[in-house]
Structure formats: C-alpha cells, structure tokens
Structure 1
Amino acid sequence: MINISEEQVNNALDFSTLVPALKQAFTTDICVPSRLHYDMENPKASRETTLLMMPAWQAGDVAGVKLVTVAPDNGLKNLPSIQGTYLLFDINNGSIKAMMDAPALTAKRTAAASALASQFLSREDSKSLLIVGTGTLAPQLIAAHTNVRPINQVYVWGRTLAKAQAVCEQVSELNIECIPVDDIQSYAKQVDIISCATLSTTPLIFGHWLQPGQHVDMVGAYRPDMREMDDACLVGNKIFVDNFDGALRETGDIAIPLKTGIISKKDIKADLFSLCKGEYQVNRKASDITIFKSVGHALEDLIAAKLVANNTLK
C-alpha cells in the first residue's frame, strides 16, 4: 500500500483537470451511500469533535472511504480543524491501492466543486472575489475560482489581518492582486463573487449587503447548528446546492430556514447533479443573485483520490 502525503496530493491535483473531472462524474452512476456523521463529546473543548465517514465506489473500478475528524477549537492549538485519511481500494481484487492525506484531498475537491458551480452560476465576466475565512480552504478557493473566471482582484477577510496576509502569501504565484482586509461589509458589497469557508455558528454574510449580479459561494457550516449567511441571503435569490440530500439535512444555512419556513424545498433550484446533466438550465439575468451552498459529497472525494493515485503511482 502506498501512503500519499499532503504535498503529493497537492502536486497531483490541479483545478484545470479536477473541475472537468468532477463535472463528468456528476453525470455518472457512482454509488454514494449516505455519509455517517457522529458528534463525539469532548469536555476539553467548547464543543463536540465530529467524526465523518464517507464511502463511494464505481462498479468494477475503485472504491474509497474518507475518515475525518473536525475539531473546531484546533485553531487555538495551532492544529488544522480537519484531520484524517482517505483509503482507495481496487474493486477487482479488493486490495488497497493507496492511503492519502484527507484534509488536502478535501480542500482540493471542495474548492473544485465551488469552481464547478461558479461556471454554471456566476457571471462570466466576474473579476473580483472576497474570501471569508483564512483556513486551509482559503488559498484553494482562490486558485479554483481564478481558474474558471477572469478574477484579478482578491480580498481576504479573517479574524486577524495577519492570517489574511498569510493566505495572500500562499497564492503569490497566481496572476492576481491579493489584499487582506478588515472590513467584511464594504468589500462584500463591491465584489462579483463572495466565497465563505468558516466554522462560524452565526451569520457572517447578510442579505442586505448583497448586490445585483453577485454570486455567493458558501462552503462552511457543515453542521445543522452552524450558519455563515442569514435568512435574507436566501429570500428572493436563486439557491443551488451541491447535493440535495446532504444540504437539506446537514447545514444550518439551509436546514434552519427550511424548518422556520423562510424557504421551502421548491426554492432550491437544482444541485450539481441536475446542473451537470443538463436537467436544469441556468438563465442568469444580469441582476440575479445566485447562492451556492456546498456540504461536500463522497463522489468528489473518490474522483479526486482516483486522480491522485493515477498521477502518483505512475
């Protein structure tokens, strides 16, 4: 069995390859059972540590399972909030092909899914991007969004300017201007795309900030009690998700407004499966505000892991 490191995962995946691979995969019949989600009590932290188990397989080809923990307080310990591993199996003989770093894989595939959604939902001339959050996902989201849209101006907001500056330094090789900012509201009002990836339990983006023509990419809030956007972001705007099953149950950004009647299921226009299969056609008006909520899907992990193995085990 080959153990593939974080560095190898990052080197093996580029968005110009991963985004179209995901687009094609969302049209196939990859088997994806519901993921298992366990909240484990942790008296030493402010909240539970979450264990996620996400399996998927392609008949006659490969199978994979991701095992990750999410510990929201890890930022205070200078540790990543997401840790874990991904196991890739050969279905033909049942052997383990590879074990690889799950956080790196997750960051790449999550950012690629956001970029894929942006191809369908954002304005083609989008040139500016606000990143909310300074975790592992932030530089990957910048690279992914700039891969599919002509973005040349990026603003990064975090809890500290130093962390925002560190994100900008990580994307210095990109042909963009990256600026750390401390005023989330003013920049949210002026950019073409907002991408938010945090562990916040209270909204960071508010509907009355949003401007006609914007695309909002919501990546965090992986639990039913977490929120990154308020109700007003959803009312009257076009809502899309990566997958219906997970989004309706697992994220407070969608589950809470559904429960309180702010929105209904029919207000969610389509998921990535419908978009990629052409079952839903996006007719974007210049004034439309589009909202994409991502909760993650094991299909994305499997396709990314397969690419990593193919590019690493040559």
Structure 2
Amino acid sequence: MATAPGANPLARVPPCAYLDGAAVLSLLPFRTLIPHLQSTLPTLSLSIHSPPRHSHTVDPSSSSTLLLMPSWSSDPSLPFIGVKLVTSFPLNSRLRLPGVHASFLLFSSSTGVPLASLDATPLTLLRTAAVSALASLHLSRPDASVLILVGAGSLAPFLVRAHLFSRPSINRVIIWNRTPDKARDLALDLRREFDSGVVFDHAEDLDELVGLGDIVSCATSSVSPLIRGELLKPGAHLDLVGSFTPAMRECDDEALVRGRVFVDFEVAMKEAGELVGAFERGVMAPGDVAGTLVELLGGVKEGRRSNEEVTVFKSVGTAVVDLLAAQLAYQTYTAST
C-alpha cells in the first residue's frame, strides 16, 4: 500500500534503545547469562552466521587494533542481526584506561530496523568470562579450590566472579600481574566485594604460583609464554583468554602437550597464537584439539575424564556469543519496560 501523502514512514519505526554500561551489567548477571549460554549455544549456534571478523591494525607501534564482528541468525527464535565494533589499545594501561572498548548494534533480522545500541565493553567482559566458566564446568575438577589469575586488567574481576559462580568450591584466589601493585589492588577490591570465606591474595613469582592452581586463568596481551606447562599440577585446568592473534601467546608448548585441549570455536585454531605456533612447530596438529565448547555443552565430546588429567581451554571470542548475550540483554530489557 502506498504511503499517504505527507506521511512520515520513519514515524512507524520504534525508537532504538540505548543500553549503557550500567544497564548491561544489571541485565546480564552471571546467574542468568551462564545458564542462557549453556542452553542456547548447543541449540542455536548452527543457525548463527558469523563471517570471519575484520581485524585492522591502527598503530603497529602500539599494537592498537580495530575489530569488526558481524553476525545474524536464520532461526525464527533468534530474529536478530548484530555487529560489534571493538578497539584494542594495549598501551591504555599507561593512562589508567581500559585497553578494550566496544559497541554492539542490534537489528531486527525481519525488517532491518535498529533495535538497540549496547555498550559492548561490559558485554564483552561478561560473555568472555561466562564462556570460561562454562568450559570450567566441564573441564576443571568439581572440587577445585584454588584459582590462579594471571593478569589484573579489566577482564580479571569478571573472570573471578564467573569462576566463583561455576565452581563455588573455590576458597582461594591468587592474582599475579607484571605490575605487582595492580595485582595487590585487585585483591583488595575483591576482598571488599565478596563477603564470603574466599581468600584473595596476590603474588610476585608466577612460576611458584602456577603449581598451586586447580584452575589457572590467563587474561593478558602477552606475546611470549607466561605459563610453563611443566609447572601445572596434575588435574589442573588451564584457561587461556588473552590472545586473539597469531602473534600473542600465554603458555608454552608443554602446556598444550600435557593438556587435553579444547577451544571455544574452531576459529581459535587460526587466530590463537598458542595453537597457531604449535601447529607450525609440529608440536601438535589441528586434529589433536579434542573439541569445541558447543560439543562439550551438547554432550558430543566428553569433558574431564579423571582427577589427574590436565585440561586446557583456549577462547578467542566470536560474534556468536555476542549475539546470544545481546539477545538476553535486549529481551530482558524489553520485558521490563
């Protein structure tokens, strides 16, 4: 039907919601985000189209990067298109600023109408930590009590919260950072936040620390190995979150050889420096990777097989998880308005 003369077709377009950082944090607590991903990843991930992300170097001298991550769903129960724009500026730590900033745009996949703009900095931190916690549910020991956190940046407290949610048996968290003061400050902040029996501490010798961890979670931008595999205790679970380019690397080859390795998505085998380097050096082959997070959640692949087994989980993050997290945030928001 033709538009009536003088009518404004834009008047029929619903307003685009803006969900700022505080709103995203309130809409995506781990108690709802982790179960949401646990149920939707196995059922909806195959319907989500996620082309390879664009990665552009903004400043080679500082490794500053711009990432563009599109996704859309062909499942009627997930009628959305999403695009995340991310900037990674590692040297922001010198300015006491977060190194990663992001925005997420959500559209209707039936009309293309913009539905929401979300502050994707907390969205990314929340979904990344939630993915690590989900993997830990299948790969770490159920009685894990000591969490070693390597890195004290913006992601660090989210990883602590997520791992404590998935493994409430954890009663000690020890933090290491290249700048010891940052590790100490984060430990103090977490002590104030958690009124529980969990002990929060920091340490300066990483090699001495690694062997204590039932779970060792790394969130750094390191380009050289921090974790020596020979130091991991039997039964340890190594969670590698930081690297997302072939030039980055948080553990040595021995950690991969000792561990049974899983990835969040297959793209990790092309982007994660730990795996890309190990393949190139002939230390392991892509076929040696035991499976993906979706296969773990769907029961296609078996998780931890013994108390002594060393497990490794490598995530690089994908637009699939972004879209599912944005879905939950947007639908929770609209249900309350």
Partner of 1:31: 48
* One-letter amino acid of the counterpart of residue 65, structure 2: T
Give the deviation of 1:280 after TM superposition: 0.9
SS in 1 for 2:274: helix
* One-letter amino acid of the counterpart of residue 224, structure 1: P
SS in 2 for 1:235: helix
* One-letter amino acid of the counterpart of residue 291, structure 1: V
Partner of 1:130: 148
* One-letter amino acid of the counterpart of residue 166, structure 1: D
1:160 to 171, 179, 188: 179
Give the deviation of 1:237 after TM superposition: 1.9
Give yes or no for contact 1:62–1:88 (8 Å, CA) kept in 2. yes
Give the deviation of 1:41 after TM superposition: 4.1
Give yes or no for contact 2:128–2:317 (8 Å, CA) kept in 1. yes
Give yes or no for contact 1:16–1:147 (8 Å, CA) kept in 2. yes
Alignment of 1:50-89 (within 5 A): 50-60=66-76, 61-89=79-107
Give the deviation of 1:180 after TM superposition: 1.8
2:120 to 102, 106, 110: 102
SS in 2 for 1:27: helix
Partner of 1:262: 283
Alignment of 1:133-152 (within 5 A): 133-149=151-167, 150-152=169-171
Give yes or no for contact 1:40–1:50 (8 Å, CA) kept in 2. yes
> Larger deviation: 175-184 or 204-213?
175-184
SS in 2 for 1:34: coil
* One-letter amino acid of the counterpart of residue 93, structure 2: G
Give the deviation of 1:164 after TM superposition: 1.3
SS in 2 for 1:26: helix
* One-letter amino acid of the counterpart of residue 331, structure 2: N
- Do structure 1's residue 227 and structure 2's residue 245 form an aligned pair? no
Distance 1:46 1:34 in 2: 27
CA RMSD of aligned residues (A): 1.6
* One-letter amino acid of the counterpart of residue 32, structure 1: H
Partner of 1:112: 130
| Higher-Rg member (1/2) | 2
> Larger deviation: 170-179 or 112-121?
170-179
Distance 1:311 1:167 in 2: 31
> Larger deviation: 175-184 or 129-138?
175-184
* One-letter amino acid of the counterpart of residue 141, structure 2: R
TM-score by length of 1: 0.94
- Do structure 1's residue 308 and structure 2's residue 319 form an aligned pair? no
1:126-146: CA deviations, max 9, x gaps?
Answer: 011011011111000000000
1:209 to 218, 231, 236: 231
Partner of 2:301: 280
Structure 1 alignment gaps of length 5 or more: none
SS in 1 for 2:290: strand
Partner of 2:11: none
Q: 1:241 to 1:148 in 2, by over 3 A?
A: same
1:267-298: CA deviations, max 9, x gaps?
Answer: 11010111111111225212100000011121
1:4-54: CA deviations, max 9, x gaps?
Answer: 1111111111112111211122212331322323232426x4334232323
Matched-pair identity in %: 38
Give the deviation of 1:58 after TM superposition: 4.8
- Do structure 1's residue 14 and structure 2's residue 29 form an aligned pair? yes
Distance 2:33 2:114 in 1: 22
Give yes or no for contact 2:33–2:130 (8 Å, CA) kept in 1. yes
> Larger deviation: 99-108 or 11-20?
11-20
* One-letter amino acid of the counterpart of residue 49, structure 2: V
Give yes or no for contact 2:69–2:318 (8 Å, CA) kept in 1. no
- Do structure 1's residue 173 and structure 2's residue 193 form an aligned pair? yes
SS in 1 for 2:226: coil
Structure 2 alignment gaps of length 5 or more: 1-15
Partner of 2:18: 3
1:176-204: CA deviations, max 9, x gaps?
Answer: 21112212111210121000000010111
1:297 to 318, 322, 328: 318
* One-letter amino acid of the counterpart of residue 164, structure 1: A
Distance 1:4 1:212 in 2: 44
Give the deviation of 1:122 after TM superposition: 0.4
